[in-house]
Amino acid sequence: IPLLRAEGLVKTHYGEGAPAHAVRGVDLSVRHGEFVAVTGPSGAGKSTLLHLLGGLQRPDSGSIRLDGECTDSYSEARWATERRRRIGIVFQFFNLVSNLTVADNVELPALLAGTGTRQARAEREKLLAELGLEGKARSMPGELSGGEQQRVALARALVNHPRLLLADEPAGSLDSKGTREVMRLLSRFHQRGQTILLVTHDARLASAADRVVSFFDGRIADDAELGGAPARG
Ligand code: ADP
Ligand code: ADP
């Protein structure tokens, strides 16, 4: 069974103006260990799709299975638990807690998930070292460069060993050096078996994945394994 299976997802945003039909009927499966990039122009609905897959927004219709388990009746609290344990997320603007140190930002999800303080600290130290942030544990997020902040966000997203990592334009606010760095790290975690779904408007970044889903106007326009073979559900 796939790690993630979405069927018939639909989401319309109702705001000030005309309704935005962001996701218009999407079927998508992600297998364990895959690195999938969802790419397409701004406004295509990629970010909405990622929000649906991570339970940050609810679909109007359609369903999502995680490891074969239907999530349709999950409460907000249950989704919050899943995001702590099974789904890590990194965002374009990092979303770190600005008044907590780097160490506390990374440790917090582990503590909230019930990990003991010693183990949470050990996990945090391991990740900070791995991400080249050992000297930054006591810094505040605002003292770091964008690239460093995104590495902290990555550490936070991975601290509970989630089965799925969702990345929403993770390089979208970084310079070219930060972009290369975050993409190198995603590839490295993928090589170690991390399942990743990356959303990006940048086709060059999408080529780091082993499967590229082209998203256009709320729908999947193409789904291809890099190398040319068609992807299978
Ligand atoms: P992408 O990530 O591909 O840029 P989005 O999912 O952010 O696409 O947006 C898809 C469409 O939905 C756009 O027209 C956008 O303006 C609209 N949209 C996204 N989020 C909201 C929201 N919370 N309220 C109203 N419209 C939204
Ligand atoms: P991202 O694509 O990185 O999520 P956005 O600027 O598209 O960043 O969205 C930031 C927030 O604003 C999201 O919660 C999104 O749902 C919301 N949003 C996006 N487009 C609109 C819109 N047209 N009207 C209202 N809210 C929107």
**pLDDT digit string, tens, across residues 33-78:** 999 999 999 999 999 999 999 999 999 999 999 999 999 999 999 9
Mean pLDDT along residues 21-31: 98
The whole-number average pLDDT for the span 215-226 is 95
Cβ neighbours of residue 52 under 8 Å, at least 6 residues apart? 6, 9, 11, 23, 58, 59, 64
- CA 24 / ligand 1 centre spacing (Å): 12
The rounded distance, in Å, linking the Cα atoms of 177 and 182 is 9
181 lines ligand 2 (CB under 6 A): no
Please report, rounded to a whole number, the percentage of residues in the chain having pLDDT higher than 70: 97
Q: What's the pLDDT at 183?
A: 97
Q: Name 21's bridge partners.
A: 12
Mean pLDDT rounded to a whole number for the chain:
95
- CB 39 near ligand 1, within 6 Å: no
Tokens representing residue 158 in the block: 């991975």
More confident residue, 233 or 197: 197
CA–CA separation, 204 and 183 (whole Å): 11
Pocket of ligand 2 contains residue 228 by CB under 6 Å? no
Residue with the nearest Cα to atom 1 of ligand 2?
47
CA of 20 to the centre of ligand 1 (A): 7
pLDDT over 70 at 228, yes or no: no
Q: What is the pLDDT of residue 77?
A: 96
Residue 91: closest CA among 173, 6, 203: 173
Taking a C-beta distance cutoff of 8 angstroms, is the pair 60, 11 a contact? Answer: yes
40 alpha carbon to ligand 1 midpoint, in Å? 13
pLDDT score of 232 more than 70: no
Q: What is the rounded average pLDDT of the residues 111-118?
A: 95
User: Between β-strands 61-66 and 69-70, what pairing exists: parallel, antiparallel or unpaired?
Assistant: antiparallel
Supply the ipTM of this predicted assembly: 0.76
CA of 43 to the centre of ligand 2 (A): 9
Q: pLDDT grade, residue 227 (50/70/90)?
A: low
60 Cα–ligand 2 center, Å:
17
Mean pLDDT in residue range 174-201:
97
| Residues linked to residue 212 through DSSP beta bridges, in sequence order | 37, 224
Q: Which amino acid is at 227?
A: G
> Mutate which of 21, 47, 57, 215 to test ligand 2's pocket (most atoms within 8 Å of Cβ)?
47
Ligand 1, atom 10, residue with closest C-alpha: 45
Average pLDDT over residues 174-186: 96
Q: What is the pLDDT of residues 132-166, one digit of tens each?
A: 998 999 999 999 999 999 999 999 999 999 999 99
Answer for the pair 226, 209: CB distance below 8 angstroms, yes or no: yes
